[in-house]
Amino acid sequence: MPATFSLGTSILLLLAAFSSSTIGKDVEDEEKHLRFPPNFLLGAATAAYQIEGAWNVSGKGESTWDRLVHEHPDRIYNGDTGDVAANSYYQYKEDVAILKNLGFKSYRFSVSWPRILPTGFPNKINAEGVQYYHDLIDELKANGIEPMLTLYHWDHPQVLEDMGGWLNEEMANWFGDYARIIFREYGSKVKKFITINEPKAVCKNGYSLGIHAPGKRLPGLGEYMCIHNVLKSHATAYRIYDSEFRSTYQGEVGVLLDVMAYMPQNFEFDAAAETSFQFNVGWTMHPIFSKEGDYPSVMKQLVGNRSKAEGFMQSRLPVFSDYWINLIRSSADFLAVNHYTSRLVVSGTMGEIPSHEHDQGVREVVDSFWKSSASNWLKVVPEGFRYILVQLARNYGNPPIYITENGVSDHGTLNDDDRIYYYREYLKQMLLAIYEDGVDIRGYFLWSLLDNFEWNEGYSERFGIVFVDYEDPKRQRILKKSASWWKEVIAAGKIETN
């Protein structure tokens, strides 16, 4: 043993003598890799239905989520609703004060479409609803916090759903009318807009699996029709900003995608993972960010073939005309990415027939060693974050990216060390993507500022860095340990490692 020890020691000394400059550089690099780049935008995110409450006052119309939670309490944990939620419609000044206290530079919030257009149409613009978001934006700006506004985070007017919602191609015109009102009202104050939060989640959960509002179960058809109309609606809104507002307001409009990392379980499954990437990410990325536009060719092929084999006369994947291919292509000034977790891809099949899951002809699994969270779909896989960021950059010409959601759930504790662990490890991977891989990431928003209405899971799964007491009519907000951690990180401009 002693001999080995001394040999080991002398080799180490030798190495140290010859490469002290490299070692010094490593330490420097490591230090640099924990630091956010200059002007990097750090913020926190929320969504209207999940925090506002005030569901039927001040002129607001009914949304699809209002309808779902009231008609089907059985589908939501504990029959919870967003009727009051965190009461932010009334308590937004407290929320802004927390953002300010913690040092966040930006706040990503969403506008409730039926609060602005209770009839779904611009024949009636609800002045009180319009004023609420002016007040929120003014409060943010007075506190030096930059607003990032999402036009649609899952709560569209029920009346539009009664006419088909995202399955009706007229939605592009209805969404366009709504977007014009938002840009006109807030364009002088807001410079970053996001059109639609997570097309894939909207369409799969709402129109294929039927678990989210509007609860339609149309697998294999609904999700494809829905994405088709969501892409048209996004592009319509983008072109309206371009032609009517950009020269005056000089802002930016982006699209937001929810992306997991789809990693091959081993190299045998490289092709399966690539197909999965095209079906889950390329589905909405390729039409907007590729040079040629339209859906990925592997999707057109596979869905076309399977549809034929199943006896359909046309592909279940709808076809874009050249007009729409061109309108949708390049319709984003930046890419917004929501990322939480990863999957391993192997060969095989999954999902019912027909369905988007099944059409891919691959199987997704999770590694049993991955750390869990309170959400069954959310495993902690920090390295997947860097993996998918690099893949996005390489496939689509390195567009400017904002991370607009990233975070983890628990069942509610103020000592949320697991959340701090998650943020620290995911942030490290993001910084590696920036410094080592050259991915153009401009900002990061954590999900979420507050514990909030977590859709089907009600208030049982909590993502906030701020605890909200849902037993208390005043909805008292209490900072968690992770909020203090973030405060230090923002003040230091780097990740604190202890």
Segment interacting with ligand PNW, rule: CB under 6 A, options 96-104, 130-138, 338-346, 387-395: 338-346
At closest approach, how far in Å is the CB of 280 from ligand PNW?
Answer: 9
Among 132, 175, 444, 447, binds ligand PNW (CB under 6 A): 447
Query: Residue written as tokens 């024949």?
Result: 123
Q: Which is nearer to ligand PNW, 180 or 212 (CB)?
A: 212
- Residue pair 310/213 in contact (Cβ under 8 Å)? The answer is no
Residue 471 pairs with which residues in a beta bridge? none
Residue 377 interacting with ligand PNW (CB under 6 A): yes
- Residue pair 145/105 in contact (Cβ under 8 Å)? The answer is yes
Segment interacting with ligand PNW, rule: CB under 6 A, options 90-98, 170-178, 294-302, 335-343: 335-343
Among 88, 91, 106, 197, binds ligand PNW (CB under 6 A): 197
Residue 211 interacting with ligand PNW (CB under 6 A): no
Shortest CA distance to 481 belongs to which of 493, 498, 457, 461?
A: 498
Q: Using DSSP, state whether 316 is helix, strand or coil.
A: coil
Query: Residue written as tokens 């494809």?
Result: 224
Return the residues of window 342-371 that contact ligand PNW according to CB under 6 A. none
Site string for ligand PNW, 215-254 (x = CB under 6 A): ----------------------------------------
User: Which amino acid is located at 433 in the chain?
Assistant: A
DSSP state letters, 478-491 = EE-HHHHHHHHHHH
HSE-CB for 442 with a 13 A CA cutoff: 12
- Residue pair 354/240 in contact (Cβ under 8 Å)? The answer is no
Which tokens belong to 291? 């040079």
Segment interacting with ligand PNW, rule: CB under 6 A, options 196-204, 294-302, 319-327, 484-492: 196-204
How far apart are alpha carbons 100 and 139 in whole angstroms?
Answer: 11
Burial 397-434 (b: 16+ CB within 10 A, else e): eebebbbbbbbbbbebeeebebbbebbbbbbbbbbbbb
Among 42, 63, 454, 470, binds ligand PNW (CB under 6 A): 454
First to last CA, the chain: 34
Among 62, 139, 223, 258, binds ligand PNW (CB under 6 A): 258
Residue 18 interacting with ligand PNW (CB under 6 A): no
Cα–Cα–Cα angle for 310, 314, 317, rounded to 5 degrees: 90
405 is an active site residue: yes
Which tokens belong to 275? 């197909």
Among 255, 260, 272, 389, binds ligand PNW (CB under 6 A): 260
Q: Which is nearer to ligand PNW, 107 or 447 (CB)?
A: 447
At closest approach, how far in Å is the CB of 377 from ligand PNW?
Answer: 4
Shortest CA distance to 204 belongs to which of 166, 172, 178?
A: 166
Return the residues of window 70-89 that contact ligand PNW according to CB under 6 A. none
Among 84, 201, 366, 479, binds ligand PNW (CB under 6 A): 201
Segment interacting with ligand PNW, rule: CB under 6 A, options 34-42, 118-126, 193-201, 315-323: 193-201
Q: Which is nearer to ligand PNW, 198 or 359 (CB)?
A: 198
Return the residues of window 27-66 that contact ligand PNW according to CB under 6 A. 47, 50
Segment interacting with ligand PNW, rule: CB under 6 A, options 14-22, 221-229, 337-345, 379-387: 337-345
Which tokens belong to 260? 């997991």
At closest approach, how far in Å is the CB of 49 from ligand PNW?
Answer: 9
Q: Out of 62, 364, 405, 454, pick the active-site residue.
A: 405
At closest approach, how far in Å is the CB of 461 from ligand PNW?
Answer: 7
How far apart are alpha carbons 294 and 231 in whole angstroms?
Answer: 10
User: Nearest 5°: phi and psi at 66?
Assistant: -55, -45
How far apart are alpha carbons 105 and 244 in whole angstroms?
Answer: 28
How far apart are alpha carbons 390 and 367 in whole angstroms?
Answer: 21
Site string for ligand PNW, 281-320 (x = CB under 6 A): ----------------------------------------
Q: Residue 251 has what DSSP assignment?
A: -
How far apart are alpha carbons 61 and 161 in whole angstroms?
Answer: 13
Query: Residue written as tokens 């954590």?
Result: 446
Q: Which is nearer to ligand PNW, 227 or 327 (CB)?
A: 227
Among 94, 198, 294, 416, binds ligand PNW (CB under 6 A): 198
Give the number of residues in contact with ligand PNW, rule: CB under 6 A.
Answer: 15
**Residue numbers at the binding site for ligand PNW (CB under 6 A):** 47, 50, 197-198, 201, 258, 260, 338, 340-341, 377, 405, 447, 454, 463
Active centre residues (catalytic): 405
